Structure 1
C-alpha cells in the first residue's frame, strides 16, 4: 500500500517537468507547431461559437488567433492534456487495484463461510448420531428399570402376603441378566431342603 502511494507521488512529481518539456518542444519543432496551431484554432472557434449561442450574440465572423498565440495555447493544451492523462490513469489504476483487493477479500470471506458451513453440517450430523445413540441407551435403561421395578414389587407383595411359601410353589422369577451380573438370588426351595436335612440330623 505504501509503495503504491509512493509510486503515485513520484509519477505526479515527474509529470510536471515532462509537461513543461512537452510545451517547450511544441514551441520549437515545426510538426508540434502545426499540431498546436490546428488544435488552438479549433478550440478558439468552438469557444467563440458556444459563447455566441449561449449569450444570444449576433453571428459574426470569428477572427482566428495569431500564430504566436495559437502555438502558445496549443502547447499549453498539450501539456495540460498530458497532466490530465497521467492523473486519470493514476485514478483508474487505483480504482482497479482497490476493486481487485476487494474481490480477493470477498473470495477469502466466501471460502471461510463455506468452510464454516461444512463444519456446521458435520457437527449437526455428529450431534444427530450421538442423540440417536443416547435415545437408544435411555430406552434400554428405562426398560431395565421397569423390569427391575416389576420384580421388586412382586417380591414385596409375596413377602407381605405369606413369606416365601408362594415363591416355592410357583416358578421362580426371572431376573434380567443385565440387572444381576455377578451373583444370583438364592432359590428358596434349595434353602428349605437344606434346612430339612439339618433338622433330621
Structure 2
C-alpha cells in the first residue's frame, strides 16, 4: 500500500519542481545581492565551459575570454539554477528510491535466511527422528530373531489353559 502512495508522491514532486524551477528563473534577477551572485556564477560557468570547449577542439586556452553581458549572465545563471533545482529534486528522489528498495531487499533477504534456518533445523530434527526409527527397527529385528518367525505375526502359542476341549 505504501509503495503506490510513495511513487505517486515522487511523481507529484517531480511535476511540481518544474514550475518551481521556472519561478526561480524569473525571480533570480530581481534581488540585487542575489543578482550579483548569480552573475558571478554565470561568468565563472561561461569561462569554464569556454575553456573546456577550447581544450576539446584543440584551440589555444590562454586567450582572454570576453565576459557575458549582464542580461545574458542573469538569464544563463537563472537557467542553471532552475535546471540545478530540477535535477537535484530528481536525484534526491532516485537516491531515496534506491535506499528504500535496498532496505526492502535486505528485509526480504533476512526473511529468506530465517526460513532457510528453520528448514535446516527441521532437517536436523528429522534426521534425528530417522536415526531413532532406525534404532527401533534394528531392535525389533533383533527381538524377532530371538523370538522366532511366529512372533513376527504376533501368533499366540496355545497353552493348555487357553484351549478348551469339549469331550462329547
> Under a length normalisation based on structure 1, what TM-score does the superposition of the two structures give?
0.72
Structure ID, larger Rg: 1
Q: Secondary structure at the match of 2:98?
A: helix
Q: Distance in 2 between matches of 1:139 and 1:124?
A: 22
> Equivalent of 1:61, from 43, 61, 64?
64
Higher relative contact order (CA 8 A, sep 6+): 2
CA displacement 1:24-64 (0-9 Å, x = unmatched): 22121112212210110001111111222222323421100
The DSSP-based 3-state class of the residue aligned with 1:132 is helix
Give unmatched runs, 5+ long, in structure 1: 149-177, 186-201
Matched, 1:99 2:99: no
**Structure 2, gaps ≥5 residues long:** 162-168
Shift of 1:126: 0.8
Write out the 4+ residue segments of structure 1 that deviate beyond 4 Å after TM superposition. Answer: 178-182
2:115 paired with 1:112: yes
Quick one: which of 153, 159, 163 aligns to 1:183? Answer: 159
- Give the superposition deviation at 1:182: 5.3
After TM superposition, give the deviation of residue 113 of structure 1 in Å: 0.6
Q: How many residues align structurally?
A: 155
Cα deviation 1:36-94 (Å, max 9, x = unaligned): 10110001111111222222323421100101110110011000100010010011011
User: The residue matched to 1:28 in structure 2 has which SS?
Assistant: coil
